[in-house]
Chains A and B, each alone.
Chain A
Amino acid sequence: MAYVGLPSFHTRDDFKDIPITVEIVTVSDTTNLPTKPKKPEPKKEEVKAEPEPTPTPPAPPPAPTGSVEQPPAPEPVPEPVEEKVALIVNPEPKPKKEAKPKPEPKEEPKKVESKKRAPTPIPPRKPKAPDQFASVLKTLEELKTAPREDKKEDDKAKPKRDFASMMENALESDKARTDVGPEMTISEIDLVRQQIQRCWNMPAGAKDAQTMIISIRLAMNPDGTVQQARILDQARMGSDPFYRTMAESALRATLDPRCQPFRLPLEKFDRWKNMKLTFDPRDMLGL
């Protein structure tokens, strides 16, 4: 009985773990969304309205098609150069940052039809069986005996979300807000992830592809289309052509009309109107 004090040690010890436990939980209390189609779940017979394609995201604001009206102003005419194989690089037209790939509502039916259906819950790409995802680098199976390099080193490079950086973020944040409504559920996030992954055509054989992790910040429109996309590491974009290649492939994935609009619940717009996508090719390269 004299050991009333004992629990106090425990509380102290437990205390250390608490932040970590708390931090991981991004799953919301409302896990299963009625509105969202499920994961690839094998369709049972009890066909409810479930597999009904809520997907048809009709792209609310039919954006003005064609970018013809864009001012042809900075038309960069390449100045002729001298002899033979002379080359000139033009001043590029000012990057129009807000290149909005609009969900063209009048896309020709035949092709787009299949594309539109693409984002249904069932991974539609037949040829890409899940195991094929394991690595985009082919090796003949029979003799695949070579020891893989362990990934310890790489793990170090992985962007960590440790306690310290969380704190830092929190303290830096100047526009902290608390009124953004219900959280995104894992299945909602997964759905978008799958959409983008289908459009990420990564440069598989590029040198040191495994060291390139690309972050892209997105500003979204309420209809699930991308309003603006920006590659964060502009410095490396300018200095490392391989990085630029990888980054541009990621950027294209976010702008590709075939994979838009993202299937995101409108009522949680405040949650996703700003997004940060991190493209990490290592799994794909089998590293």
Chain B
Amino acid sequence: MTHSFFARFTRSAYALAFLVTIFGVVEAHAELEIDITRGVAEPMPLAVTDFYGEGQAEKKFGANIASVIAADLERSGLFRPIDPKAFIQDAASLNVLPRFGDWRIINAQALVQGRVEMTVDGRLRVEFRLWDVLAEKQMVGLAYFTIPSNWRSVAHIVSDAIYKRITGESGYFDTRIVYIAEAGPKTKRVKRLAIMDQDGERHQFLTTGTDLVLTPRFSPTLQEITYLSYFKGVPRVYIFNIDSGRHEILGDFPGMTFAPRFSPDGKSVIFSMSKAGNSEIYVMDLATRSVRQLTNHSAIDTSPSMSPDGRKVVFNSDRSGSQQLYVMSSSGADPTRISFQKGRYATPVWSPRGDLIAFTRIYNGEFYIGVMRPDGAGERLITKGFLVEAPTWAPNGRVLMFFRQDPSDQYGRGGKTRIYSIDITGHNEREVITPEDASDPAWSPLIHNN
């Protein structure tokens, strides 16, 4: 026994000594390791310089383009353009090569530089480079040709390229918003379909206001809009092609047709239709015009929105007693409830990125806009108000727009209604400037597939 004791003891001692040696070595050799688990989420300071141009006209375009880019990036909340007054290096020498030290001093982490030229045939050539100031290297550099009147689109396309290179996600600046413009007294409200760039520029009205229009939605693939209009008192779903200017009836349905939305491939439209007081969800193939019924329940099923892969549909239903969100397969099978908090849920919209569903929640007399994962987890309410509703996603799934209506006073005055954008993190809520009251925004896909 004593023998075995000593044997064990020495064995352990050797092993121990061995380990100590090993760890001693590891410890000694190891570089210093530090875990960084905290950070900040602040806009990235960047410098957007006026694009260089030789002639007066080119200089003007260069300055305008730079200011649109700076405004785009600033509005995203992810970038903080530095005041050009702080710039040290001038445009001409910058056109040769950036002096990174000059930009580090003013704390720029990225530098946008460009050049505008008029070609002999009267077109505009716009080139830009994005530099990483700290790493002192070019991150991306691209050139575009366009007709001069299109300079604004090019500026947005450049903004998208910068956004994409820095954030890893595609941008959303080269997009438009269609919405319902509202004017006149409550009793005689005129509602028109209107469209504008995502920054509020190039605004125009698409309908005259004689017929009531509701719920415009963009096709995810084309510059097409579905909307609901009352023609001679009958609600119908129309398709409007922006480029051709044509309005087309999607179909004549018995009963009331609501909440039309395109499928992610743009080939079908999903909507709800109410017959004899009960609303169900249908999908129509746009090529064949064949209609398929997806739900069949005595409760009200409405507001469908498809997942980006087209496999699932989120919708709302009061089948459990109160209005909640459900996800089912696109064939209509396996409806599963995903919302469980207090209050009612409405207008679910699946993010084009696929990772979140945005919704409106009504609780205790207040409205909230929120997001949750498709399985219902991780619900976050990102804004609230007297009335906030109708979230719509930017094509990159990073930003939401919605409308906010203020309460009106006892005489029916006030009640200002405006469109706002907000980052999905819940920060950076901003009004989108419109000429009159605005509701029901819908965000387009990227216009130029850049």
Contacts and interface: CB of A to CB of B under 8 A. Distances in A.
Interface string B74-96: 00001000000000000000001
Contacts of B286: none
Interface of B: 1-2, 4-5, 8-9, 12, 15-16, 19-20, 22-42, 44, 78, 96-97, 99-102, 104-107, 109, 125, 127, 129, 132, 134-146, 154, 157, 161, 164, 166-169, 341-342, 353, 355, 361, 363, 368, 372, 377-384, 397-398, 423-427, 448, 450
A246 B105 CA distance: 24
B31 A275 contact: yes
Given A138-B426, A169-B30, A276-B31, A176 B36 contact: no
A38 interface: no
A12 B398 CA distance: 57
Interface stretch (A29-37, A43-51, A54-62, A79-87): A79-87
Interface of A: 4-5, 7-8, 11-12, 15, 18-19, 22-23, 26, 65-68, 70, 72, 75-76, 78-90, 92-93, 95-96, 99, 101, 104, 107-108, 111, 125, 128, 133, 136-140, 143-149, 166-167, 169-171, 173, 175-180, 183-184, 189, 192-193, 196-198, 200-208, 217, 241-246, 248-253, 255-258, 271-272, 274-284
B31 A217 contact: yes
Given A139-B382, A201-B42, 18 more contacts: A79-B143, A80-B127, A81-B145, A92-B138, A101-B134, A108-B105, A136-B425, A140-B383, A140-B426, A146-B372, A146-B380, A149-B378, A166-B23, A166-B26, A256-B109, A274-B32, A277-B34, A280-B35
Q: Is the interface of A mostly helix, strand, loop or mixed?
A: loop
Q: Which 10 A-B pairs have the closest CB atoms?
A: A138-B426, A200-B39, A146-B379, A245-B168, A274-B31, A66-B101, A241-B168, A139-B380, A255-B134, A204-B41
A218 to B, nearest CB: 8
A253 B40 CA distance: 10
B162 to A, nearest CB: 13
B34 A189 contact: yes
A109 to B, nearest CB: 11
Contacts of A207: 169, 353, 355, 397
B19 to A, nearest CB: 5
A143 to B, nearest CB: 5
Contact of B9 (A11, A143, A257): A11
B143 A88 contact: yes
Contacts of A83: 145
Contacts, number: 294
Contacts of A173: 25-26, 29
A18 B16 contact: yes
Contact of A15 (B5, B16, B154): B16
Contacts of B12: 11-12, 15
Given A139-B380, A146-B377, A274-B32, A197 B39 contact: yes
A136 B106 CA distance: 26
B36 A250 contact: yes
B381 A143 contact: yes
B256 to A, nearest CB: 32
B424 A205 contact: yes
A128 B42 CA distance: 11
6 contacts: A78-B129, A85-B146, A85-B154, A140-B426, A203-B78, A206-B169
B141 A90 contact: yes
